[in-house]
A = this chain, B = another copy of it.
Protein backbone atom coordinates (compact mmCIF):
# COMPACT_ATOMS: atom_id res chain seq x y z
CA UNK A 1 0.00 0.00 0.00
CA UNK A 2 1.39 3.43 -0.89
CA UNK A 3 1.37 5.86 2.04
CA UNK A 4 -0.80 8.97 2.06
CA UNK A 5 2.33 10.98 1.33
CA UNK A 6 3.23 8.78 -1.67
CA UNK A 7 -0.28 9.20 -2.96
CA UNK A 8 -0.13 12.96 -2.51
CA UNK A 9 3.31 13.17 -4.04
CA UNK A 10 2.29 11.23 -7.13
CA UNK A 11 -0.74 13.46 -7.57
CA UNK A 12 1.35 16.65 -7.19
CA UNK A 13 3.84 15.36 -9.76
CA UNK A 14 1.05 14.80 -12.27
CA UNK A 15 -0.22 18.35 -11.71
CA UNK A 16 3.30 19.73 -12.08
CA UNK A 17 3.84 17.76 -15.30
CA UNK A 18 0.58 18.98 -16.81
CA UNK A 19 1.40 22.58 -15.92
CA UNK A 20 4.89 22.23 -17.40
CA UNK A 21 3.50 20.76 -20.60
CA UNK A 22 1.10 23.71 -20.98
CA UNK A 23 4.04 26.06 -20.44
CA UNK A 24 5.93 24.37 -23.26
CA UNK A 25 2.93 24.67 -25.58
CA UNK A 26 2.80 28.38 -24.80
CA UNK A 27 6.52 28.79 -25.45
CA UNK A 28 6.25 27.02 -28.78
CA UNK A 29 3.21 29.08 -29.77
CA UNK A 30 5.17 32.32 -29.34
CA UNK A 31 8.54 31.17 -30.69
CA UNK A 32 8.15 28.37 -33.22
CA UNK A 33 4.61 27.37 -34.13
CA UNK A 34 3.58 27.96 -37.74
CA UNK A 35 0.52 30.14 -38.30
CA UNK A 36 -1.55 27.12 -39.38
CA UNK A 37 -1.21 25.47 -35.97
CA UNK A 38 -3.01 28.19 -33.98
CA UNK A 39 -6.47 26.63 -33.80
CA UNK A 40 -5.18 23.17 -32.87
CA UNK A 41 -2.92 24.68 -30.24
CA UNK A 42 -5.81 26.55 -28.60
CA UNK A 43 -7.78 23.30 -28.41
CA UNK A 44 -4.83 21.39 -26.95
CA UNK A 45 -4.36 24.04 -24.29
CA UNK A 46 -8.06 23.77 -23.49
CA UNK A 47 -7.82 20.00 -23.17
CA UNK A 48 -4.80 20.30 -20.90
CA UNK A 49 -6.52 22.93 -18.74
CA UNK A 50 -9.52 20.63 -18.36
CA UNK A 51 -7.25 17.67 -17.50
CA UNK A 52 -5.44 19.82 -14.95
CA UNK A 53 -8.67 20.98 -13.38
CA UNK A 54 -10.07 17.43 -13.24
CA UNK A 55 -6.88 16.20 -11.60
CA UNK A 56 -6.78 19.13 -9.17
CA UNK A 57 -10.28 18.54 -7.81
CA UNK A 58 -10.13 14.70 -7.82
CA UNK A 59 -12.46 13.68 -4.98
CA UNK A 60 -10.33 10.72 -3.88
CA UNK A 61 -7.69 13.16 -2.67
CA UNK A 62 -9.91 14.47 0.13
CA UNK A 63 -9.08 11.58 2.43
CA UNK A 64 -5.38 11.78 1.65
CA UNK A 65 -5.28 15.52 2.33
CA UNK A 66 -7.23 15.13 5.59
CA UNK A 67 -4.87 12.43 6.75
CA UNK A 68 -1.79 14.51 5.97
CA UNK A 69 -3.22 17.68 7.49
CA UNK A 70 -3.92 15.77 10.69
CA UNK A 71 -0.40 14.34 10.83
CA UNK A 72 1.48 16.41 13.42
CA UNK A 73 4.74 14.70 12.52
CA UNK A 74 4.72 15.94 8.94
CA UNK A 75 7.90 17.96 8.19
CA UNK A 76 7.25 21.68 7.48
CA UNK A 77 8.20 21.45 3.77
CA UNK A 78 5.63 18.71 3.25
CA UNK A 79 3.08 20.53 5.40
CA UNK A 80 3.42 23.59 3.18
CA UNK A 81 2.81 21.50 0.05
CA UNK A 82 -0.36 20.06 1.52
CA UNK A 83 -1.54 23.51 2.59
CA UNK A 84 -0.94 25.00 -0.88
CA UNK A 85 -2.72 22.10 -2.53
CA UNK A 86 -5.74 22.57 -0.25
CA UNK A 87 -5.76 26.27 -1.09
CA UNK A 88 -5.74 25.59 -4.85
CA UNK A 89 -8.40 22.89 -4.55
CA UNK A 90 -10.68 25.04 -2.42
CA UNK A 91 -10.47 27.86 -4.91
CA UNK A 92 -11.16 25.56 -7.86
CA UNK A 93 -14.12 23.97 -6.08
CA UNK A 94 -15.82 27.24 -5.18
CA UNK A 95 -16.62 28.34 -8.76
CA UNK A 96 -19.35 26.44 -10.63
CA UNK A 97 -18.10 24.64 -13.71
CA UNK A 98 -20.67 26.39 -15.92
CA UNK A 99 -19.13 29.74 -14.95
CA UNK A 100 -15.60 28.45 -15.59
CA UNK A 101 -16.62 27.36 -19.07
CA UNK A 102 -18.48 30.61 -19.81
CA UNK A 103 -15.47 32.63 -18.67
CA UNK A 104 -13.08 30.58 -20.77
CA UNK A 105 -15.21 31.16 -23.86
CA UNK A 106 -15.75 34.85 -23.14
CA UNK A 107 -12.01 35.38 -22.65
CA UNK A 108 -11.13 33.59 -25.90
CA UNK A 109 -13.65 35.72 -27.76
CA UNK A 110 -12.55 38.96 -26.17
CA UNK A 111 -8.86 38.28 -26.87
CA UNK A 112 -9.67 37.47 -30.49
CA UNK A 113 -11.71 40.66 -30.83
CA UNK A 114 -8.95 42.67 -29.14
CA UNK A 115 -6.34 41.32 -31.57
CA UNK A 116 -8.53 42.39 -34.48
CA UNK A 117 -9.72 45.74 -33.17
CA UNK A 118 -6.72 47.09 -31.28
CA UNK A 119 -4.63 48.30 -34.27
CA UNK A 120 -7.43 50.66 -35.40
CA UNK A 121 -8.59 51.35 -31.84
CA UNK A 122 -12.13 50.16 -32.59
CA UNK A 123 -13.48 50.48 -29.06
CA UNK A 124 -17.13 50.15 -30.14
CA UNK A 125 -16.55 46.61 -31.37
CA UNK A 126 -14.32 45.61 -28.48
CA UNK A 127 -16.41 47.03 -25.60
CA UNK A 128 -19.22 44.42 -25.56
CA UNK A 129 -16.70 41.54 -25.57
CA UNK A 130 -14.82 43.17 -22.70
CA UNK A 131 -18.06 43.89 -20.82
CA UNK A 132 -18.95 40.19 -20.93
CA UNK A 133 -15.59 39.28 -19.39
CA UNK A 134 -15.92 41.94 -16.68
CA UNK A 135 -19.40 40.72 -15.81
CA UNK A 136 -18.30 37.07 -15.52
CA UNK A 137 -15.18 37.91 -13.54
CA UNK A 138 -17.32 39.94 -11.13
CA UNK A 139 -19.62 36.95 -10.69
CA UNK A 140 -16.62 34.71 -10.13
CA UNK A 141 -15.22 37.14 -7.58
CA UNK A 142 -18.58 37.02 -5.81
CA UNK A 143 -18.28 33.24 -5.36
CA UNK A 144 -14.67 33.49 -4.22
CA UNK A 145 -14.84 36.55 -1.98
CA UNK A 146 -17.49 35.06 0.24
CA UNK A 147 -18.78 38.46 1.35
CA UNK A 148 -15.37 40.18 1.34
CA UNK A 149 -13.83 42.58 -1.17
CA UNK A 150 -14.41 41.01 -4.62
CA UNK A 151 -11.24 42.57 -6.08
CA UNK A 152 -9.13 40.76 -3.47
CA UNK A 153 -10.43 37.43 -4.70
CA UNK A 154 -9.11 38.18 -8.19
CA UNK A 155 -5.85 39.65 -6.91
CA UNK A 156 -5.35 36.51 -4.87
CA UNK A 157 -4.53 34.36 -7.93
CA UNK A 158 -1.57 36.53 -8.78
CA UNK A 159 -0.55 37.87 -5.37
CA UNK A 160 -1.73 35.73 -2.46
CA UNK A 161 -2.13 37.82 0.66
CA UNK A 162 -2.40 41.21 -1.07
CA UNK A 163 -5.54 43.30 -0.41
CA UNK A 164 -7.06 46.37 -2.01
CA UNK A 165 -7.29 48.05 1.38
CA UNK A 166 -3.49 47.94 1.64
CA UNK A 167 -2.77 48.71 -1.99
CA UNK A 168 -4.89 51.86 -2.18
CA UNK A 169 -2.84 53.91 0.32
CA UNK A 170 0.37 52.47 -1.08
CA UNK A 171 -0.46 53.64 -4.60
CA UNK A 172 -1.72 57.00 -3.27
CA UNK A 173 1.59 57.62 -1.54
CA UNK A 174 3.64 56.44 -4.50
CA UNK A 175 1.65 58.53 -6.99
CA UNK A 176 2.10 61.69 -4.97
CA UNK A 177 5.87 61.17 -4.72
CA UNK A 178 6.37 60.10 -8.37
CA UNK A 179 4.78 63.12 -10.00
CA UNK A 180 7.55 65.58 -8.93
CA UNK A 181 10.21 63.02 -9.89
CA UNK A 182 8.78 62.83 -13.40
CA UNK A 183 8.91 66.61 -13.46
CA UNK A 184 12.60 66.60 -12.57
CA UNK A 185 13.44 63.70 -14.88
CA UNK A 186 11.85 65.23 -17.95
CA UNK A 187 13.41 68.63 -17.25
CA UNK A 188 16.94 67.24 -17.68
CA UNK A 189 18.55 67.88 -21.10
CA UNK A 190 18.17 64.83 -23.31
CA UNK A 191 21.30 63.43 -24.95
CA UNK A 192 20.34 62.33 -28.48
CA UNK A 193 21.20 58.73 -29.41
CA UNK A 194 22.93 58.53 -32.81
CA UNK A 195 21.23 56.83 -35.78
CA UNK A 196 23.21 53.68 -36.50
CA UNK A 197 22.57 50.04 -37.33
CA UNK A 198 22.96 47.39 -34.63
CA UNK A 199 22.64 44.07 -36.55
CA UNK A 200 20.13 41.57 -35.18
CA UNK A 201 22.46 38.55 -35.14
CA UNK A 202 25.06 40.46 -33.12
CA UNK A 203 22.31 41.64 -30.77
CA UNK A 204 21.22 38.04 -30.18
CA UNK A 205 24.83 37.14 -29.41
CA UNK A 206 24.91 40.16 -27.07
CA UNK A 207 21.78 38.86 -25.35
CA UNK A 208 23.70 35.66 -24.53
CA UNK A 209 26.69 37.70 -23.34
CA UNK A 210 24.50 39.68 -20.94
CA UNK A 211 22.63 36.61 -19.70
CA UNK A 212 25.85 34.72 -18.99
CA UNK A 213 27.36 37.80 -17.37
CA UNK A 214 24.62 37.79 -14.73
CA UNK A 215 24.87 34.02 -14.19
CA UNK A 216 22.13 32.55 -16.39
CA UNK A 217 22.89 28.89 -17.15
CA UNK A 218 22.48 28.23 -20.87
CA UNK A 219 22.79 24.45 -20.43
CA UNK A 220 19.43 24.65 -18.64
CA UNK A 221 17.95 27.37 -20.78
CA UNK A 222 17.22 28.81 -24.19
CA UNK A 223 17.20 32.46 -25.36
CA UNK A 224 15.35 33.44 -28.50
CA UNK A 225 13.30 36.28 -29.97
CA UNK A 226 9.53 36.94 -29.81
CA UNK A 227 7.14 39.84 -30.32
CA UNK A 228 6.49 40.23 -26.57
CA UNK A 229 9.42 39.17 -24.36
CA UNK A 230 8.62 36.59 -21.66
CA UNK A 231 10.17 33.93 -19.43
CA UNK A 232 8.74 30.45 -19.01
CA UNK A 233 9.80 27.14 -17.52
CA UNK A 234 8.48 23.83 -18.87
CA UNK A 235 9.92 22.20 -15.74
CA UNK A 236 12.98 21.79 -13.56
CA UNK A 237 16.23 22.24 -15.48
CA UNK A 238 14.62 24.13 -18.33
CA UNK A 239 14.01 27.89 -17.94
CA UNK A 240 13.71 29.85 -21.18
CA UNK A 241 13.24 33.47 -22.13
CA UNK A 242 12.88 35.72 -25.13
CA UNK A 243 13.97 39.22 -25.97
CA UNK A 244 13.02 41.80 -28.60
CA UNK A 245 15.54 43.29 -31.01
CA UNK A 246 15.50 46.79 -32.49
CA UNK A 247 18.26 47.27 -35.06
CA UNK A 248 18.15 51.04 -34.45
CA UNK A 249 18.96 50.79 -30.72
CA UNK A 250 20.55 48.03 -28.60
CA UNK A 251 19.74 49.46 -25.14
CA UNK A 252 16.18 48.09 -25.03
CA UNK A 253 17.46 44.61 -25.84
CA UNK A 254 20.04 44.75 -23.03
CA UNK A 255 17.49 45.95 -20.48
CA UNK A 256 14.95 43.37 -21.67
CA UNK A 257 17.52 40.60 -21.30
CA UNK A 258 18.35 41.77 -17.78
CA UNK A 259 14.63 41.83 -16.95
CA UNK A 260 13.86 38.39 -18.34
CA UNK A 261 17.12 36.89 -17.09
CA UNK A 262 16.09 38.20 -13.66
CA UNK A 263 12.93 36.09 -13.88
CA UNK A 264 14.94 33.16 -15.23
CA UNK A 265 17.69 33.34 -12.59
CA UNK A 266 14.99 33.15 -9.94
CA UNK A 267 13.60 29.91 -11.38
CA UNK A 268 17.07 28.48 -12.00
CA UNK A 269 17.70 29.07 -8.30
CA UNK A 270 14.80 26.92 -7.05
CA UNK A 271 16.07 23.85 -5.15
CA UNK A 272 16.19 20.61 -7.13
CA UNK A 273 14.39 18.83 -4.28
CA UNK A 274 11.25 20.81 -5.24
CA UNK A 275 11.26 19.31 -8.75
CA UNK A 276 7.72 18.24 -9.77
CA UNK A 277 6.11 19.69 -6.65
CA UNK A 278 3.86 22.66 -5.99
CA UNK A 279 6.83 24.40 -4.35
CA UNK A 280 8.74 24.83 -7.63
CA UNK A 281 7.38 28.31 -8.21
CA UNK A 282 7.50 31.85 -6.91
CA UNK A 283 4.92 32.61 -4.21
CA UNK A 284 3.48 35.43 -6.35
CA UNK A 285 3.96 37.52 -9.47
CA UNK A 286 5.12 40.42 -7.31
CA UNK A 287 7.93 38.27 -5.93
CA UNK A 288 8.80 37.21 -9.47
CA UNK A 289 8.79 40.78 -10.71
CA UNK A 290 11.05 41.83 -7.83
CA UNK A 291 13.81 39.77 -9.44
CA UNK A 292 13.33 41.06 -12.99
CA UNK A 293 13.13 44.68 -11.83
CA UNK A 294 16.18 44.27 -9.62
CA UNK A 295 18.39 43.33 -12.57
CA UNK A 296 16.74 45.68 -15.04
CA UNK A 297 16.60 48.82 -12.89
CA UNK A 298 19.08 48.46 -10.06
CA UNK A 299 21.85 46.79 -12.03
CA UNK A 300 21.03 47.60 -15.67
CA UNK A 301 20.26 51.29 -15.26
CA UNK A 302 23.41 51.99 -13.23
CA UNK A 303 26.47 53.74 -14.68
CA UNK A 304 28.76 50.94 -13.42
CA UNK A 305 26.91 48.34 -15.49
CA UNK A 306 27.40 50.27 -18.72
CA UNK A 307 31.07 50.75 -17.98
CA UNK A 308 31.33 46.95 -17.81
CA UNK A 309 29.24 46.55 -20.97
CA UNK A 310 31.20 49.03 -23.06
CA UNK A 311 34.05 46.67 -24.12
CA UNK A 312 31.59 43.80 -24.66
CA UNK A 313 29.49 45.96 -26.97
CA UNK A 314 32.55 47.29 -28.76
CA UNK A 315 33.47 43.67 -29.53
CA UNK A 316 30.02 42.89 -30.91
CA UNK A 317 29.44 46.22 -32.73
CA UNK A 318 32.82 47.66 -33.76
CA UNK A 319 31.15 50.04 -36.23
CA UNK A 320 28.06 51.18 -34.34
CA UNK A 321 30.05 51.78 -31.15
CA UNK A 322 32.53 54.05 -32.90
CA UNK A 323 32.77 57.23 -30.84
CA UNK A 324 30.17 56.06 -28.32
CA UNK A 325 31.00 55.49 -24.67
CA UNK A 326 29.50 54.08 -21.48
CA UNK A 327 27.96 57.48 -20.64
CA UNK A 328 25.99 57.57 -23.89
CA UNK A 329 24.55 54.12 -23.27
CA UNK A 330 23.82 54.93 -19.63
CA UNK A 331 22.09 58.19 -20.57
CA UNK A 332 19.93 56.31 -23.07
CA UNK A 333 19.04 53.71 -20.42
CA UNK A 334 17.95 56.36 -17.90
CA UNK A 335 16.12 58.87 -20.10
CA UNK A 336 12.74 59.95 -18.67
CA UNK A 337 9.82 60.80 -20.96
CA UNK A 338 6.08 61.31 -20.69
CA UNK A 339 4.81 58.61 -23.04
CA UNK A 340 1.53 56.83 -23.71
CA UNK A 341 2.56 53.17 -23.86
CA UNK A 342 3.30 51.30 -20.62
CA UNK A 343 5.62 48.66 -22.08
CA UNK A 344 7.83 51.39 -23.53
CA UNK A 345 7.85 53.53 -20.37
CA UNK A 346 10.99 54.34 -18.38
CA UNK A 347 11.37 53.34 -14.73
CA UNK A 348 10.32 56.74 -13.37
CA UNK A 349 7.00 57.02 -15.23
CA UNK A 350 6.30 53.26 -15.30
CA UNK A 351 4.46 52.98 -11.99
CA UNK A 352 2.14 55.85 -12.85
CA UNK A 353 0.94 53.75 -15.78
CA UNK A 354 0.29 50.93 -13.33
CA UNK A 355 -1.41 53.21 -10.80
CA UNK A 356 -3.86 54.33 -13.49
CA UNK A 357 -4.76 50.73 -14.35
CA UNK A 358 -5.12 49.72 -10.71
CA UNK A 359 -7.54 52.57 -9.98
CA UNK A 360 -9.67 51.85 -13.02
CA UNK A 361 -9.84 48.08 -12.65
CA UNK A 362 -10.65 48.34 -8.97
CA UNK A 363 -13.55 50.65 -9.85
CA UNK A 364 -14.68 48.25 -12.61
CA UNK A 365 -14.72 45.23 -10.32
CA UNK A 366 -16.43 47.14 -7.53
CA UNK A 367 -19.06 48.31 -10.04
CA UNK A 368 -18.19 51.98 -9.51
CA UNK A 369 -17.22 52.35 -13.17
CA UNK A 370 -18.93 50.90 -16.26
CA UNK A 371 -17.08 49.56 -19.28
CA UNK A 372 -18.70 52.27 -21.41
CA UNK A 373 -17.14 54.99 -19.27
CA UNK A 374 -13.69 53.43 -19.34
CA UNK A 375 -12.10 55.34 -22.30
CA UNK A 376 -13.04 58.75 -20.97
CA UNK A 377 -11.85 57.87 -17.49
CA UNK A 378 -8.58 56.53 -18.91
CA UNK A 379 -7.83 59.61 -21.01
CA UNK A 380 -8.64 62.03 -18.21
CA UNK A 381 -6.55 60.19 -15.62
CA UNK A 382 -3.66 59.82 -18.07
CA UNK A 383 -3.57 63.54 -18.52
CA UNK A 384 -3.66 64.15 -14.75
CA UNK A 385 -0.93 61.63 -13.92
CA UNK A 386 1.39 61.88 -16.89
CA UNK A 387 0.39 65.06 -18.68
CA UNK A 388 -0.21 63.34 -22.00
CA UNK A 389 -3.46 62.45 -23.74
CA UNK A 390 -3.96 59.34 -25.90
CA UNK A 391 -4.62 59.96 -29.57
CA UNK A 392 -7.25 57.20 -29.38
CA UNK A 393 -8.04 53.83 -27.79
CA UNK A 394 -5.12 52.13 -29.57
CA UNK A 395 -2.53 54.05 -27.53
CA UNK A 396 -4.96 54.45 -24.65
CA UNK A 397 -7.38 52.07 -23.02
CA UNK A 398 -6.89 49.29 -25.58
CA UNK A 399 -3.08 49.09 -25.47
CA UNK A 400 -2.74 46.11 -23.07
CA UNK A 401 -4.02 42.57 -23.55
CA UNK A 402 -4.54 41.95 -19.81
CA UNK A 403 -8.15 43.07 -19.44
CA UNK A 404 -9.17 41.33 -22.66
CA UNK A 405 -7.76 38.18 -21.04
CA UNK A 406 -9.78 38.85 -17.91
CA UNK A 407 -6.65 39.42 -15.85
CA UNK A 408 -7.95 41.94 -13.31
CA UNK A 409 -5.66 42.10 -10.29
CA UNK A 410 -2.55 41.46 -12.36
CA UNK A 411 -1.29 45.04 -12.92
CA UNK A 412 -0.55 45.89 -9.26
CA UNK A 413 1.99 43.05 -9.17
CA UNK A 414 4.24 45.07 -11.49
CA UNK A 415 4.44 47.84 -8.93
CA UNK A 416 4.75 45.46 -5.99
CA UNK A 417 7.70 43.94 -7.86
CA UNK A 418 9.27 47.38 -8.33
CA UNK A 419 8.86 48.19 -4.64
CA UNK A 420 10.30 44.89 -3.47
CA UNK A 421 13.15 45.19 -5.98
CA UNK A 422 14.15 48.56 -4.53
CA UNK A 423 14.12 47.16 -1.00
CA UNK A 424 16.16 44.15 -2.10
CA UNK A 425 18.65 46.47 -3.84
CA UNK A 426 19.18 48.30 -0.55
CA UNK A 427 19.72 44.96 1.17
CA UNK A 428 22.27 43.80 -1.43
CA UNK A 429 23.92 47.20 -1.27
CA UNK A 430 24.37 46.91 2.48
CA UNK A 431 25.48 43.29 2.39
CA UNK A 432 28.10 43.73 -0.34
CA UNK A 433 29.31 47.17 0.71
CA UNK A 434 27.83 48.83 -2.38
CA UNK A 435 25.89 47.25 -5.23
CA UNK A 436 27.37 49.64 -7.75
CA UNK A 437 30.91 48.79 -6.67
CA UNK A 438 30.13 45.07 -6.95
CA UNK A 439 28.89 45.59 -10.52
CA UNK A 440 31.90 47.77 -11.36
CA UNK A 441 34.30 45.09 -10.04
CA UNK A 442 32.53 42.32 -11.91
CA UNK A 443 31.41 40.64 -8.69
CA UNK A 444 28.01 39.75 -10.18
CA UNK A 445 28.24 36.22 -8.83
CA UNK A 446 28.21 37.72 -5.33
CA UNK A 447 25.10 39.73 -6.18
CA UNK A 448 23.39 36.60 -7.44
CA UNK A 449 24.48 34.69 -4.32
CA UNK A 450 22.65 37.18 -2.09
CA UNK A 451 19.45 36.77 -4.15
CA UNK A 452 19.81 32.99 -4.14
CA UNK A 453 20.21 32.92 -0.37
CA UNK A 454 17.53 35.45 0.53
CA UNK A 455 14.90 34.81 -2.13
CA UNK A 456 15.42 32.09 -4.76
CA UNK A 457 16.10 29.07 -2.56
CA UNK A 458 12.80 29.53 -0.74
CA UNK A 459 10.79 29.12 -3.96
CA UNK A 460 7.13 28.92 -2.85
CA UNK A 461 7.88 27.93 0.73
CA UNK A 462 6.76 31.27 2.17
CA UNK A 463 4.06 33.69 1.07
CA UNK A 464 5.48 36.86 -0.45
CA UNK A 465 4.99 39.31 2.45
CA UNK A 466 6.82 36.95 4.83
CA UNK A 467 9.51 36.10 2.27
CA UNK A 468 10.23 39.78 1.66
CA UNK A 469 10.07 40.68 5.33
CA UNK A 470 12.77 38.10 6.03
CA UNK A 471 14.78 39.01 2.90
CA UNK A 472 14.84 42.78 3.47
CA UNK A 473 14.12 43.12 7.18
CA UNK A 474 11.39 45.63 6.44
CA UNK A 475 7.70 46.11 5.76
CA UNK A 476 6.60 47.00 2.24
CA UNK A 477 6.61 50.73 1.44
CA UNK A 478 7.38 53.14 -1.39
CA UNK A 479 10.43 54.59 0.40
CA UNK A 480 13.19 52.53 -1.22
CA UNK A 481 11.83 52.97 -4.74
CA UNK A 482 11.35 56.70 -4.31
CA UNK A 483 14.86 57.05 -2.91
CA UNK A 484 16.25 55.11 -5.88
CA UNK A 485 14.35 57.15 -8.46
CA UNK A 486 15.36 60.39 -6.75
CA UNK A 487 18.98 59.42 -7.37
CA UNK A 488 18.14 58.55 -10.99
CA UNK A 489 16.74 62.01 -11.74
CA UNK A 490 19.23 63.90 -9.53
Contacts and interface: CB of A to CB of B under 8 A. Distances in A.
A51 B54 CA distance: 12
A141 to B, nearest CB: 30
Interface stretch (A32-40, A62-70, A113-121, A179-187): A32-40
B34 A235 contact: no
A238 B14 contact: no
A84 interface: no
A219 B21 contact: no
A342 B31 CA distance: 35
A48 interface: yes
A20 interface: yes
A43 B13 contact: yes
A220 B32 contact: no
Contacts of A28: 24, 28, 234
A47 B238 contact: no
Contacts of A275: 40
Interface in A17-33: 17-18, 20-21, 24-25, 28, 32-33
A78 to B, nearest CB: 20
B276 A37 contact: no
A43 to B, nearest CB: 6
A256 to B, nearest CB: 20
Contacts of A33: 222, 238
A41 interface: yes
A197 B235 CA distance: 40
A319 interface: no
A21 B44 contact: yes
A234 B217 CA distance: 29
Interface of A: 13-14, 17-18, 20-21, 24-25, 28, 32-41, 43-44, 47-48, 51, 217-222, 234-238, 240, 275-276
26 contacts: A13-B43, A13-B47, A17-B43, A20-B40, A21-B48, A24-B24, A28-B234, A32-B32, A32-B222, A33-B238, A34-B218, A34-B220, A34-B237, A34-B238, A36-B217, A36-B219, A36-B221, A37-B235, A37-B238, A39-B236, A40-B234, A40-B236, A40-B276, A41-B238, A44-B234, A44-B235
